[in-house]
Structure 1
């Protein structure tokens, strides 16, 4: 018995549609391919024996996916972490008058003088991330109370 081309095409669209819905909205969650997409174009490994927290970029014009090939050309497959769900660098915290310090990148912070940043940028030790929520300045990946608060490479 031969399947109709219409039925075959319909099944293909359903499978692709489910993959697209499933693939979006998983920012900073470890996936079956051993990485977590921290935003649309960057990822970190979730594997033993790999430096925790090292965030790597995809190539130009590529997006982070849950596929075995981590980065693929934009448009060929949707990013696991949609651009509107990830924190953008412009959303990094600022001095509010009540904060002692603010994160100015994933691994740096600056002290606050009221609502003004001091001039000195302080870098966390290797493998540590800036964390205002923890109150400890810099913590290991397992100690992060939530997402990275300022997702940029440098202030």
Structure 2
């Protein structure tokens, strides 16, 4: 009799934990029943009942708390209750891969790094059924239920028209079938808008444009506030330019020209 009671209690506990997991798992940047949209495991936007995340102010849970779809929003971390939105701290980070080969921009979108501190060039897309994984040299690996994702954010939330690409009106064969080109001699049946890649500025180019000594945000701005450029001028001549990364969980603040461990409110 005692064994039956113990088995029944264990079964109820398992059902309760499973229920809690179902109740808290959601999509990133999507308005939940508690009127917030978690953008990562600890940060969120407010929705105000209109189903749209209002991005004018970013809110953060206290250390040790996760963003959830529960009424309290921020709930103490628990191994049995995952946050509503997965971790995005490694999104766009070349150092997430030990060889600095590529950076995951979302679950299925990536950019190459080629040993640099930040990704550049065209956006790559993982085949259906695979996800970007910075721990693998294969870049895209088969998607498995419950796996830890390098950049747990929906592909549609990645702006692939800025930072590394601009849209032009040149004619070319569709990119899904052939390489992009600026020639207009392709068959008109396959004409489409070309996405031409434009590399971000190098440290030297950024410093030349800024024309000042000090530490500054990179150009284009890093939404995660991790990367910054150091410029040193002497008699109006650029002597040194280099790009650096703030330590993990810290943010670069241009006003103080330093990395701080308190999010200034505008960083992802």
Residue 57 (structure 1) aligned with residue 60 (structure 2): yes
How far apart in 2 are the matches of 1:153 and 1:47? Answer: 27
SS in 2 for 1:116: coil
Residue 169 of structure 2 is matched in structure 1 by none
Change in 2 beyond 3 A, CA 1:22/1:73: closer
Residue 81 (structure 1) aligned with residue 82 (structure 2): no
Residue 152 (structure 1) aligned with residue 154 (structure 2): no
More strand, by proportion: 2
Using structure 1 for the length normalisation, give the TM-score: 0.54
Using structure 2 for the length normalisation, give the TM-score: 0.34
How far apart in 1 are the matches of 2:74 and 2:36? Answer: 11
**Residues 10-30 of structure 1: per-residue CA shift (max 9 Å, x gap):** 234213213314523421111
State which of 116, 121, 133 in structure 2 corresponds to 1:96.
Answer: 121
Residue 130 of structure 1 is matched in structure 2 by none
How far apart in 2 are the matches of 1:72 and 1:97? Answer: 39
Bigger RCO of structures 1 and 2 (CA < 8 A, at least 6 apart): 1
Change in 2 beyond 3 A, CA 1:114/1:67: closer
Residue 234 of structure 2 is matched in structure 1 by none
Please provide the CA RMSD for this pair: 4.1
Aligned residues: 117
SS in 2 for 1:88: coil
How far apart in 2 are the matches of 1:100 and 1:65? Answer: 31
Bigger Rg, structure 1 or 2: 2
Correspondences of 1:4-83 after superposition (within 5 Å): 4=5, 6-47=7-48, 52-53=54-55, 54-75=57-78, 77-83=81-87
How far apart in 2 are the matches of 1:47 and 1:87? Answer: 29
Contact 1:87 1:151 in 2 (8 A): no
Change in 2 beyond 3 A, CA 1:97/1:57: same
Change in 2 beyond 3 A, CA 1:47/1:153: farther
SS in 2 for 1:102: coil
How far apart in 1 are the matches of 2:198 and 2:29? Answer: 32
Change in 2 beyond 3 A, CA 1:4/1:33: same
State which of 196, 201, 220 in structure 2 corresponds to 1:116.
Answer: 201
